[in-house]
Amino acid sequence: MKTLFELFQSLGLAERMLAYVLIAPFIGGVLAGIDRKLTARLQGRFGPPILQPFFDVFKLFQKERIVVNKFQNFNIILFFVFTVFSGALFFCGADILLMIFGLATAGTFFVLAGYSVSSPYSHLGAEREIIQMVSYEPMVILVAVGMYMVTGSFKVADIAMYQKPLILALPGVFAGFLYILTIKFRKSPFDLSISHHAHQEIVRGLTTEFSGPALALIEISHWYENVLLLGIVYLFFAFNPWLGIVLTIAAYLFEIFIDNNYSRFKWQLTFLSSWLFTAVAGVSNIIVLHLIK
Amino acid sequence: MAWFKRSPWVLHYNATSCNGCDIEVIACLTPLYDLERFGIINTGNPKHSDILLVTGSVNEKSKHVLKTLYEQMPNPRVVVAVGICACTGCVFQDCYNVLGGADKVVPVDVYVPGCAARPESIIDGVLKACGILEEKYAQQKNTQQQPIKA
């Protein structure tokens, strides 16, 4: 493990970015497969193979391209590019604020893609995606602010090198981040815009009009995004790499558990509860941190 | 590689069925039969799906919907008629408004008879449809490589 970390640190900026671009989809796809298998086991089913998400994506690339509006795939490609860009920034140790804004830009292009087609179901999904973005964005900013207040740097590389446990200074921020992580992973109480489960979806939400390769690209972007978000979870426990990896996996399993225990919330409850949780856990943590210093 | 066989996504449309076959289609997704172990997902969106499951004897009202759904599916696509009504129209075939079978409106590839069709036979039909999906994809690729001369 230690040699692995030393190897990663010995890499240059471009090599680290390349490593993320090449390795992240594999990790993200396997995580998605584990998610589906575990969900099936929790429901008493046998479940698909672990590599099922890869099969789905390969199949989608073989399907016919149907384009309703010529800008729809343009927006999806930009969504993909900005997600990969912000992930690459994170894993090469760049500024966490720039990474967060890159991710927000990716989300914006995803919403624009939903609006670019004429289907009312897609528009409804896009509107709900905006509500979700408004719900989680304050907490994501607070994560960056909290990490800066403790470590004195916005650089991911410096935060990861911080020797004291970040989680002890930022328990509230971490709890708040775990709460909005459910929205970012598109898990069940908050899967308003796109659900993986057809039975609780209005046709298919935002992705209604996307088929074949475009849908595959959306799926791959989600894998990149998931790896990036788990990377942020890891930062809270970066003082001990082993503990960090174990707890990051635990956070992911926790999200799967939550996914299986809740049905979908209304958008009002999603919005109110996430802002309330952000205020109570996140903001109060920041205030206490400010008073202690 | 045969990816269509590994992840066929299904769209289910009830073309004036009595709901018997629909219950059996849903039963395929339950823990006892669990269609998802083959990678099959019930999508509910024609643009995402590869296989169209039709139940019921199609009538004048539902034929337009069925045709639209079929046209919205991206190639390659396969239609499975589930239940004897969707295959032939069964006892309703002489009714004035009934067309008598899904194959009067869209090209059907697999017929799954039964009233109602058993979940086992529906799963069997869907897996047979996966094979046809592969064939259609291979065919499509061949015709793309060698354009047909008029």
Contact A59 B1 (CB under 8 A): no
* pTM summary value: 0.91
Interface of B with A in 34-63 (CB under 8 A): 34, 36-39, 41-45, 47-48, 50
Domain CATH code at residue B49: 3.40.50.12280
Domain extent for A78: 2-292
Q: What is the torsional sign of CA A74, A75, A80, A82?
A: positive
Instruction: Closest CB to A66: pick one of B4, B31, B47.
Output: B47
Mean pLDDT over the full length of chain A: 88
Q: Categorize the per-residue pLDDT at B1 as very low, low, confident or very high, splitting at 50, 70 and 90.
A: low
pLDDT digits (tens, 9 = 90+) for A157-193: 888 888 888 888 899 999 999 999 999 988 888 888 7
What residues of A are in contact with residue B42 (Cβ under 8 Å)? Answer: 198-199
Q: Looking at the 3D structure of chain A, how many domains does it have?
A: 1
Q: In terms of residue numbers, what domain contains B26? A: 3-145
Would you call B37 and A47 a contact, using CB atoms and an 8 Å cutoff? Answer: yes
Is residue B150 in some structural domain?
Answer: no
Mean pLDDT over residues A53-69, rounded? 88
How many whole angstroms separate alpha carbon A149 and alpha carbon A265? 34
Asked whether this complex has an ipTM greater than 0.95, the answer is no
pLDDT at residue A212 in the model: 85
Report yes or no: A41 and A47 within 8 Å, Cβ to Cβ: yes
CB contact under 8 A, A48 and B36: yes
DSSP A11-29: S-HHHHHHHHHHHHHHHHH
Phi/psi region, residue B56 (left: phi>0; alpha: psi -120 to 50; beta: rest), is: left
Instruction: Give chain B's mean pLDDT.
Output: 87
| Tokens read off for A228 | 């990036």
How many domains would you assign to chain B?
1
State residue B80 phi and psi, 5-degree precision: -115, 120
Percent of chain B with pLDDT over 90: 29
Task: Name the residue of chain B whose CA is nearest to A201's CA.
Answer: B44
Residue A198 pLDDT greater than 60, yes or no: no
Range name among A116-130, B15-29, B133-147 with the lowest pLDDT average: B133-147
What local confidence, expressed as pLDDT, does residue A5 receive? 67
Residue B38: predicted pLDDT: 87
Closest chain A C-alpha to B46 CA, distance in angstroms? 9
* For residue B147, pLDDT beyond 80: no
Q: Could you read off the pLDDT of B105-145 as tens digits, one per residue?
A: 999 999 999 888 899 999 999 999 998 998 888 888 888 76
* The pLDDT value given to residue A194: 79
Cis bond upstream, residue B86 (ω within 30): no
Residue A160, number of CB atoms within 10 A of its CB: 19
Q: H or E stretch including B55?
A: strand B51-55
Q: What is the pLDDT of residue A192?
A: 82
Give A135-166 pLDDT, tens digit per residue: 999 999 999 999 999 998 898 888 888 888 88
Q: B72: nearest CA in chain A?
A: A66
Distance of CA A118 to the CA centre of its chain: 27
